[in-house]
Each structure stands twice: as structure tokens, then as C-alpha cells.
Amino acid sequence: MRFLIFGSRGQLGRELTIEVIQRGFCCTSLSREEADVTDHQKVRDIVKSISPDIIINATAYNDVDQAELEPDKAFAVNSHAVRNLAKCAEEVKAILVHFSSDYVFDGKKGSPYTTLDEPHPINVYGKSKLEGEQHVIEIMRRCFIVRVSWLFGFGKANFPLKLLEMAKKQKTIKVAIDQINSPTYTVDAAKGVMELILKGKFGLYHVVNKGYCSRFEWAQEILRLIKWPGEIQPGKMEDFPGIAKRPRFTALDTTKFERETGFFLPSWRDAVERFLCELGEGGDAV
Ligand SMILES: NC(=O)c1ccc[n+]([C@@H]2O[C@H](COP(=O)([O-])OP(=O)(O)OC[C@H]3O[C@@H](n4cnc5c(N)ncnc54)[C@H](OP(=O)(O)O)[C@@H]3O)[C@@H](O)[C@H]2O)c1
């Protein structure tokens, strides 16, 4: 099987590239410099010349606050480029794996969202991601749409990395206790996605680490594992105002993914411990 990955330098794109290569598949993995997905003709030329079996779109416009100020840019990457990619995939009869977000939901349900729950995004980022999903569903049958949330891993700044920086400089750290979600380690998500590609039926899936927590609990676990001597204080989402509205509770239910693949992602606590261990920041995981 021949893979073509867009967004190779992103957190998830990086791990997917490693996973594909480790499994012995042929892989072309391209960064934004090598393939800007908003350049539709260039993407079409690349797809045609490689003629892959599987295209993975790990690109995204991910800045939730900035998306409110420049919605055109967010939609260009998260929606219009996705429509083009889906068309290109169809033209060469490739399977498309596309990623979406828990932010397609408004957070009002109060329990983990399943793939059957109706999306209702409350910010530009969420709306652009939902539109991207819709394009893929309209254009393709042979596709996997994978929603993930609170991604952390190697590469870009993410919450655990920011927290570790704060812990070096501050004696007290305040974190929101009323924002709840499913932290997801990119290493685990990449393995899950590969299982899905190899075993799953086409369709929409939620792939996140097992369980969910508040951002406060997530921080507490990280700071406990690194034996940080400071004080962590519970705050409210209102204490950290952003430009975009954010949903409060967007934990994702992974039952469909587990049923289809027989594969279970480890708990988020286990994932955090392994991540810190990899960073050399404490944690006893092997
Ligand atoms: N991060 C999260 O917490 C989170 C939560 C829910 C869902 N997701 C979804 O999960 C997927 C992976 O997210 P991630 O955290 O791995 O994202 P990421 O680390 O921000 O990576 C996204 C990659 O896309 C690239 N990119 C942006 N615009 C592009 C363009 N026009 N053409 C080509 N490449 C472009 C970026 O390039 P540069 O490196 O040059 O910037 C970056 O390497 C995305 O679909 C995202 O929406 C993420």
C-alpha cells in the first residue's frame, strides 16, 4: 500500500508518518512548504503523480482564537482544501483519511459525544472543521473521518508542553476546572488510525485516549508526575478569556472505533506518563 500524507510537520502528521513507515508501507509525507493544500492545482498534480492508495490529511488551521479574526484562512485550509483533496482522492480512487475535532460540538450534552450526536459548532474553527467533514462525506464513500481532541505529542506547542514551561518559571499555576475533554496522545492516535485503516469500515469515528478529565485534572497529573513543588489552583474558563467561544464538555465516546477495530487506546493518564517519560520529564512508564 502506498500512502501520501499532507501535514508531515504537524503533531499528528509526524506520528502518522512514523507509524506508516514502521509498518513497512511506502510513504510520501509532505510539509506545508512541499505541498500547501490551499494550492489546489499543485495538490492535484502531486496526487496524480504519486497515485497513492491512501491519502492522509493531517493539515489544519488550528488556531481557534485567530480563526475568529481571519475566518477565510481557517475555511481555506479546513474546508475548501479538504473538498479539493476529496475530489483528488476520488480521481485516483484513493481512500482519504481526514481529521476533525471535538469542537464540532457545542459542549452542552454533558456526557461523551458519540458519532451519532448532531454537531453544533460555536466558533469559526469548529464550523470550518464541520464543513470539511461534510465535503468529505458528500464527495467520497471510501473515507475515514476521525475526530480527535486535546492532542499532545512531539512538535508544536500543546497544553502539556506549555504547562511544563510554566512550571519552570512559576510557583503557582491556575487551570480551568470546568473545561472537560479527552486528552489524546498523538502516538496512540496514530496507532489507532492505522488499525482503523487496516480493519475498519469506512465512516466517521472518534479516536481518543480512554477516559476524560478537566483541564485542571490533566495539569494536576502532569505536575504530580514531574514532582513539581508549586501550587496548582482551580480556575474557571472565564478566568482565561479568549477571542473564540469554547465548548465546556466535549469528551468523545470511542465505542464505535473499539467495536470496529477491537483496538483500545490506553487511558489518558497512561498516555501522559509515557509522553513525559519520552521527554525525560519524569513518569515511570517504560
Ligand atoms: N491540536 C489539537 O488539540 C486538536 C484538537 C482537535 C482536533 N485536532 C485536529 O487534528 C488534526 C491534527 O492536528 P495537529 O495538532 O497535529 O495539528 P498541527 O500540529 O497544528 O499540524 C497541522 C499541520 O498542518 C500544516 N498546515 C497548515 N496549513 C497548511 C496548508 N495550507 N498546507 C499544508 N499544510 C498546512 C501545518 O504546517 P506548519 O507546520 O507549517 O504550520 C502543520 O504542520 C487536525 O485536523 C486538527 O484540526 C487537533
pLDDT in tens, 5-33: 999 999 999 999 999 999 999 999 999 99
Instruction: List the domain boundaries for the chain.
Output: 2-157+183-209+253-265
Asked if residue 59 has its Cβ within 6 Å of ligand 1, the reply is yes
Q: What is the pLDDT of residue 48?
A: 98
Q: Report the CATH superfamily, name and number, of domain 2-157+183-209+253-265.
A: NAD(P)-binding Rossmann-like Domain (3.40.50.720)
CA angle (46 as vertex; 8, 125 as ends), nearest 5: 50
Q: What single-letter DSSP state applies at residue 265?
A: P
pLDDT in tens, 47-87: 999 999 999 999 999 999 999 999 999 999 999 999 999 99
- Would you give the distance in Å from CA 98 to the centre of its chain? 10
Asked if the model's pLDDT at residue 169 lies above 50, the reply is: yes
Yes or no: say if 74 and 124 are a contact pair by the CB < 8 Å rule.
Answer: yes
Q: To test the ligand 1 pocket, which listed residue (15, 28, 29, 32) has its Cβ within 8 A of the most ligand atoms?
A: 32
205 belongs to the catalytic site: no
Q: Choose the catalytic residue: 61, 125, 205, 212.
A: 125
Phi/psi-derived region of residue 110, left when phi > 0, alpha when psi is between -120 and 50, beta in every other case: left
Asked if the model's pLDDT at residue 283 lies above 60, the reply is: no
Q: What is the pLDDT of residue 281?
A: 87
